[in-house]
Amino acid sequence: MSTIWQEFSKGLWKEVPPFRFVLGLCPTLAVTGKVSSALGLGCGVIFVLMVSNTLISIFKQYIPGKIRVPVFIVIIASAVTIVELMMEAYFYTLYEVLGIWIPLIVVNCLILGRAEAFARKNPVRLAVADGAGMGLGFTISLVVLATFREVIGSGTWFGLSVLPPSYIGFDLVQNPPGAFICLGLLLALINLISAKTESKRQEC
Amino acid sequence: MGDYLLMMISAIFANNILLIRFLGLCPYVGVSSNVNSSVGMSGAALFVNVLASTFTWLVYNYLLVPFQLEYLRTVAFILVIASLVQLVEIVLQKTAPALYRALGIYLPLITTNCMIFGTAVLNINQDNAFFDAVIYAFATAIGFSLALLILAGLRERFAIGKVPNMMNGFPIALISAGLMGLCFQGFIGLGQ
């Protein structure tokens, strides 16, 4: 039980995907203009990551080593197609907002990275836990960045206004260049926190 | 002719694939720490992007559409791109070893470059005609190379400058990319 929990929880802070490894950056920047779209894409990624991790872990003995990457990609692409069709059928507005970013989950390096680094070497239950944890960590990071950008950029959170109406949105933060700057500042903050806790531990 | 020029300017500057559309960021922060590897990556990206867009356009319009298999787009495109990269690698190795050595490891890395896949999907979403699709792919790759080379130059300067500890590495690279993006956005209004 404890190992499942370990594999799950490492995705949440210690190895949280977009911040620690700088994997899967493209969607991190593109969909974080609004919290709702960040959450939507995050859920898609959780689903794809869990499906691909599970399938790859089940079939790991049968996948020849030399052509494993194409096989992984086909598995991932199938999961992404499921997400795409489901979103088009049941969440059409979200589908419209995310647009090209749903098919692009295929080339998110995070998913292939987990398949290669974890799922093909570990039993199914650990692979599922790893997929869920990494996916959740990814989603939380997206939502954190989106919160930052939406609140400062337009004074709303999840479409609800949280700042007084006299607040004039800071447009730059919502623009594409602002996304880079926000992520840069956030990474710097995480570095700072990590360095602080590290030095504290050494003092003890 | 004027239309093509406008489309190219738009794809290179105002809608720069990296800085405005956020495609292909992984190699962007990965290889941009020195100029030489950026040149290799740019070359490989330009080459594969044009080829991949050409082939995916043909596959989509002459294979998927007639058989009403549009929902297989994602799977089909990623397979076309992956096999194309393999093919290019083998052909280059035999016919142009010098170029092959110059592109080096950047060629296989390109398979998971979202720019290639993104350009292919964008071409379909924008209903580009065949020739438009090829020009568009060429222009986006030029935009990618431009942004990559400028950032690589900047990052080589950072390496010898004094950067606060917590900003070192990715944070400073991302922030400077953001400032570059602002300049590129200034071209909005020139193209469409």
Kindly state whether residue B191 falls inside one of the protein's structural domains. Answer: no
Kindly state whether residue B114 falls inside one of the protein's structural domains. Answer: yes
Kindly state whether residue B84 falls inside one of the protein's structural domains. Answer: yes
Higher pLDDT, residue A15 or A62 = A62
Kindly state whether residue B7 falls inside one of the protein's structural domains. Answer: no
User: What distance in Å separates the CA atoms of residue A116 and residue A118, rounded to the nearest whole number?
Assistant: 6
Q: SS3 helix, strand, coil % of chain A, rounded to 5?
A: 80, 0, 20
Kindly state whether residue B12 falls inside one of the protein's structural domains. Answer: no
Residues of chain B whose pLDDT is less than 50?
Answer: 192
Question: How does DSSP classify residue A160?
Answer: E
What are B119's two structure tokens? 């350009």
Interval A23-78: pLDDT, tens: 677 788 888 888 999 999 999 999 999 999 999 999 988 888 778 888 888 899 99
**Residues A180, B166: C-beta atoms closer than 8 Å:** no
Q: pTM of this prediction?
A: 0.84
**Residues A77, B171: C-beta atoms closer than 8 Å:** no
| Single-letter amino acid code for the residue at A48 | V
Kindly state whether residue B190 falls inside one of the protein's structural domains. Answer: no
Kindly state whether residue B50 falls inside one of the protein's structural domains. Answer: yes
Kindly state whether residue B112 falls inside one of the protein's structural domains. Answer: yes
Shortest Cα distance from B75 to chain A (angstroms)? 5
Residues, chain A: 204
**A188 and B CB contact within 8 Å:** yes
Supply the pLDDT for residue A21.
65
8 Å CB contact between B184 and B13: yes
Q: How many domains does chain B have?
A: 1
Closest C-alpha to A151, from A28, A13, A34, A2: A34
**Residues A107, B112: C-beta atoms closer than 8 Å:** yes
Supply the pLDDT for residue B112.
67
**Residues A180, B79: C-beta atoms closer than 8 Å:** no
In chain B, what is the straight-line distance between the N-terminal and C-terminal CA atoms, in Å? 15
Candidate from B114, B171, B178 with C-beta closest to A26:
B114
**Is this complex scored with an ipTM above 0.85?**
no
